[in-house]
Amino acid sequence: MTLAVPGASSAPALEIVPLGGLGEFGMNMMAVSFGDTLVLVDAGVMFPDPELPGVDQVIPDLAYLEQRAGGAAALVLTHGHEDHIGAIAHVLPFVRGPVYGSPLTLALAKAKLERRGVEAGDRLVAVKPGERVQAGDLEIEFIRVTHSIPDALALAIRTPVGTVVHTGDFKIDQTPLDGGHFDFQRFAALGAEGVLVLLSDSTNVERPGFTGSEYDVVEAFEELFASTRGRLVVTAFATSIYRMQILANLAAEFGRKLAFVGRGMIEHAQVAQDLGYLSVPPGILIREADVRGYAPREVLCVTTGSQGEPLAALSRIAVATHRHVAVEPGDRVVFSARAIPGNERAINRVVNHLARRGAEVVTAADRRVHVSGHGSAEELKLMLSLVRPRYFVPIHGEFRQRSHYARLAARLAAGASQTTTVMAEDGDVLRFDGASGGVAGRVQAGRVLIDGSGTGEVDDEVLRDRRHLAEDGLIVPVITIDKQTGLVVGRPDVITRGLVLDPSADELLADAARIISEALAETSDEERTDRGLVTEKIRVELRRCFKKRAGRRPLVLPVIMEI
């Protein structure tokens, strides 16, 4: 049930404000405060829905932090996935103290800051499970959990009115590749000591039983390595370090060379190797530029693009525009990642292009080539049973998942009153004073749209909120394409709104139409039938044109009509 606390007391109390992650998958961010001490947990992004063309990322609204005098005493990162660290460059200006995280998490975060030109100096402080740090009135303990990426941490935050346990993302992997086991004992000990609030991941609550181990994909991949006579291409998230390790080991066992393909995959693999989280057997690693020099049966490519991203390496491989990697009949392409809701159409487009090349596509629906990083129902029940909190707040997920977890908690309690479930949304202020707890009010919360330089890079990201739209305006190029042939019909129209141009605007708009026509003329017939690729290409070219000619970075929303 949800409790409301009328008339919040002026006496110091623990306040927890979810700024993202309660109502969506991704954008995870939580503010925990007591008195003047504020600590932030995670700074994540969410990737945009298909109906938000021109938007690269979505981050939490930071108005709450702007209004907090003095900023946050610390930022704590639970692990290195984008939905937990992707917004760090935007959040760091509101943090006056250190950024805590495990070594791998901080290495990935540091790379993001450097690409944005943000200097963190000595503020990135690496921690290990079992360590504790002090931030004002709050003490933070780090607890080992298992997830789909190494170095994942849960938190025990001690406050003057009680302990808060934040699980981060977790599953209970009893055969972890790195030997770092889930710390059952510490969670049980915290439960015995007494926990005021449990904030727990709800992502996979609708799945019965237990989530499999990362090792569970080995059998399916062994069969694929043994039976594939051509090139083997595996696409996964760039942070799937465990999956990279399994594939590297199998490549050595089956005599294939290993090439990491795509900027994100190459960078993450290098970071993981530098820190010792990825060990590639000697003699098998080659550059993506060397792939063409080997027979298809001798190569394994591990690439980005599992979500059908138009500019990712796999999308370019699928339409035969990648400089170094191609697929042909006899090759296999394996999707070793879950489809993020909303990306199904983009993924299907890539699959169709791969099929046209003659490649066989394998997904998790065909073989067990992917295993989730989030605990299923039995693991989530076990977490509740170990911690035995006074208040329970389901986090990470849409209302459907969180309400399901709440029902699970009610069944575990079996009518007892020792645990009270508090259902919260982004922006709710949860107040706990030792005697009572629940929703005490609301603060401004929501989503801010982020647009990059138009090439998928994050170097020149700018806030794409209403103020930005008012300053830089909107461009809507309208292109008509023959559905059967992929040919452009007529001349593109370019419509602008809120964009202040000089008297030569007519000439600029005419040039913009010409640029669209030239860009489309340079694409193949097959590419022109892929709306995602065409949209991204037009957006890139028009943003470059208007930046150079008008000094503006307008939002470009291509409209493609098929006839």
Q: Would you say 179 and 165 are in contact if contact means Cβ atoms under 8 Å apart?
A: no
Helix axes 531-550, 505-521, angle to 10 degrees: 150
Is this structure's pTM higher than 0.85?
no
With respect to CATH, is domain 14-209+372-448 assigned 3.60.15.10?
Answer: yes
- Cα separation of 147 and 28, whole Å? 16
Question: How buried is residue 477: exposed, middle or buried, by Cβ count under 10 Å (0-12/13-18/19+)?
Answer: buried
Q: Under CATH, to which class is 470-562 assigned?
A: alpha beta
- Cβ neighbour number for residue 7 with a 10 Å cutoff: 7
Cβ atoms of 295 and 252 closer than 8 Å: no
Q: Rounded to the nearest 5°, which phi and psi values hold at 273?
A: -70, -45
Per the listing, tokens 């399901």 go with: 404
d(CA 303, CA 150): 19
Q: CATH: 3.90.25.10, 2.70.98.10, 3.40.50.10710, 1.10.287.70. Which one for 214-362?
A: 3.40.50.10710
Which residues are identified as catalytic? 201, 374
Question: For tokens 């004073």, what's the residue?
Answer: 433
3-state helix, strand, coil in the chain (%, to 5): 30, 25, 45
411: DSSP letter: H
- Say which residues have a Cβ less than 8 Å from residue 358's Cβ, sequence separation at least 6: 327, 328, 329, 330, 331
How remote is the C-alpha of 181 from its chain's centroid?
24
pLDDT at residue 409, rounded to an integer:
93
Q: Is 83 helix (H, G, I), strand (E, B) or coil?
A: helix
SS (H, E, C) 178-214: CCCCCCHHHHHHHHHHCCCEEEEECCCCCCCCCCCCH
How far is CA 300 from each of CA 24, 215, 291, 362, 367, rounded to the nearest angstrom? 35, 19, 9, 15, 18
Classify each residue of 538-549 as buried b or exposed e, where b means 16 or more C-beta atoms within 10 Å of its C-beta: bbbbbbebbbee
Question: What is the Cα–Cα distance from 290 to 57, expressed in whole angstroms?
Answer: 33
- Positions in the chain short of pLDDT 50: 1-9, 453-467
Which of 56, 45, 112, 48 is CA-nearest to residue 553?
56
Residue 112 to residues 82, 373, 423, 461, 484, Cα–Cα distance (Å): 10, 23, 33, 12, 42
DSSP 8-state symbol, 444? -
The string of pLDDT tens digits covering residues 161-197 is: 999 999 999 999 999 999 999 999 999 999 999 999 9
Torsion angle, alpha carbons of 337, 342, 343, 346, to 10: 160
Say if CB 308 and CB 182 are below 8 A apart.
no
The pLDDT score that the predictor gives to residue 7 is: 43
Ordered strands of the 57-60 beta sheet = 57-60, 447-451, 462-464
Q: What are the strands, taking DSSP E only, across 225-364?
A: 232-235, 257-261, 285-286, 299-303, 332-335, 360-362
- For the chain, what are the domain ranges? 14-209+372-448, 214-362, 470-562
In DSSP terms, 447 is beta-bridged to 60
Strand partners, 334: 234, 362
Q: For the beta carbon of residue 516, count every other beta carbon within 10 angstroms.
A: 25
Strands 232-235 and 197-201: unpaired
